[in-house]
Amino acid sequence: MNFRDLLDKLKQRWQETSQNKKVLVILVSAVILAGLVYLTTSLAKPNYALLLGDLEPKDAGNIVAQLESEKIPYQLTNQGTTILVPQGQVDEIRVKLASDGVLTGVGSGFELFDKSKFGETDFEQQISYQRALQVELSRTITKVEGVDQARVHLVLPKKSVFIDDEGTASASVVIKLKPGAKLKPEQVKGLNDLIIGSVEGLQTDNVHIIDTEGNVLNDFLKDSAGIAGAGYSGTVLEKQQQIRRAYEKELENRVQNMLAKVLGPNKAVAMVTAEMDFNQQQTNTTEVLPGPIVSERSINEEGTGGSGGGVPGSTTQMPGQSIPGEYATGQDSYTKTDDIRNYQHGSMTQSVVQAPGGLIRLSTAVVLDESVTNLDQEKIEQLVTAAIGFDQQRGDQIMVSAMPFDQSQYDFPEEQQPDNTQKEKELLYMTIAAAVGGLLILLLLIAYWLRRRRKKKAQAEPIVVETPPVVPVGTIQPEEEEEPKWEIPLPKDKQKQLKELAEDRPKDIAAVLKVWLRE
């Protein structure tokens, strides 16, 4: 069968198809064709990746103009503040834009002095230096882990020969953190020291570091400096605060890890406040111990006397008194004993020094997520009590409560999601559409095949045409003058089916009859 016969056969089949089937075939073919075209165009498109984000409108316009001049494909998202380029060309395009001076990032730093201006005044040089220093500090701060963007504002006083006329230097820093990131106190202190060391004459009190939510990040540094200025050692105070915070952090981590394994991640928050005593106390105790006799002296003295008065100063000289015993006679006698013993006593001195950092009181607050099913606050409180070493006699406090959590900080914005997420979704949708289209085609083919099979089975049944028996001419009665009738003795349902088939497919019936006649 050549190609022309195949076309003729398809044309014949198409003409024999009913109008409803023709419409259905056209619609299904159009859907499949549209799906194939969309799938082809989508797969042919390059994968776009982030080139720059959170741009100012002016910077975005300059970069787009440069991309258009270089005939580089790009896409704008997030209201024109984010630029996407083909994934395989991101690094090359960044290098190209940087070499052209368009990719400035947060601005021009000390590159401003690469091209000196003729006749520039001292004021202009001072402004250029201030701008360059701000940009350089912003670049350095953005290198810190967890910091996405930073903007620095400096106030540099004009130098004067009179000290009273000089102003005070100050710095204000606004930091945008990455999603879910949080700066540690050590990082904030490092940024504070970096800014102080970069600006001449800048003091801690004049440095202000905040985040995009308006939270002041370096307040604790100013409090430490103020207490140190009141007569306390800043270094010792900082160490005490670090010890206290480290102890609190250890208890918080212990509770967090325990609750994360019980309730799941991000389902509980624990905060611990420890009151500690950093005063050093020393107690000295001296105990006298008995020792041996070193020396001993004993004096015994006896004597008699004729005086009837008695011992001077005693009651014997008083009239009317009688003295019994040996003093009652006229001859008095006395005995005197004097013993002296010297001991070598020992001594034990004990000195007890109480180390600073003793725990006075603990206060613990635990917040649970209400979305957790089968939440038993009493059992959670018992677990936390045992984990932190709760002591009621010490005055410790613990509070466990449940409330709904805000999970928005863990949901990344759509523009910050990986670039291939949207592509994966589109590919999934296209795969589903192609699968549905293929399934429809398969169902249509199966239905068409079953219908053709039923038709072939119906056409294959022989149609028996019975003719009347041959009767001799002599036996024909004169009254039977009617001509014999050709009948097709078929059942009524078969006759009905054949009639309907002849009405629906007259050409097929004619073709079958031609084949039969040819045979």
Tell how strand 358-369 and strand 268-277 pair up.
antiparallel
- What is the pLDDT of the chain when averaged over all its residues? 75
For 7-56, how does the pLDDT look when each residue is reduced to its tens digit (9 = 90+)? 777 777 777 777 777 777 788 888 888 877 777 776 666 778 888 777 77
More confident residue, 83 or 305: 83
Tell me what the mean pLDDT of segment 353-377 comes to.
Answer: 85
Q: Is the pLDDT of residue 86 over 70?
A: yes
Of the candidates 207, 182, 208, which has an alpha carbon nearest to the alpha carbon of residue 196?
207
Q: Is the pLDDT of residue 385 over 70?
A: yes
Please, are residues 264 and 254 in contact by the beta-carbon 8 Å criterion? no
pLDDT at 116: 67
For 240-257, how does the pLDDT look when each residue is reduced to its tens digit (9 = 90+)? 888 888 889 889 989 988
Q: 195 falls in which pLDDT band (50, 70, 90)?
A: very high
For 157-183, how does the pLDDT look when each residue is reduced to its tens digit (9 = 90+)? 877 655 555 678 899 999 988 887 888
Q: Is the pLDDT of residue 326 over 60?
A: no
Q: Is the pLDDT of residue 478 over 50?
A: no
For 496-510, how does the pLDDT look when each residue is reduced to its tens digit (9 = 90+)? 777 777 777 777 777
pTM of the shown model? 0.42
For 312-322, how does the pLDDT look when each residue is reduced to its tens digit (9 = 90+)? 555 544 554 44
Tell me which residue has tokens 């008699």: 304
Q: 328 falls in which pLDDT band (50, 70, 90)?
A: very low
Q: What are φ and ψ of residue 293, in 5° steps?
A: -80, 125
Please state, in angstroms and rounded to a whole number, the distance separating the CA atoms of residues 400 and 458: 81
Tell me what the mean pLDDT of segment 81-85 comes to.
Answer: 85
Q: Is 272 exposed, middle or buried (0-12, 13-18, 19+ CB in 10 A)?
A: buried
Percent of the chain with pLDDT over 70: 73
The token duo for 495 is 């006759």
Name the E strands within 178-309: 207-211, 268-277, 281-289, 293-305
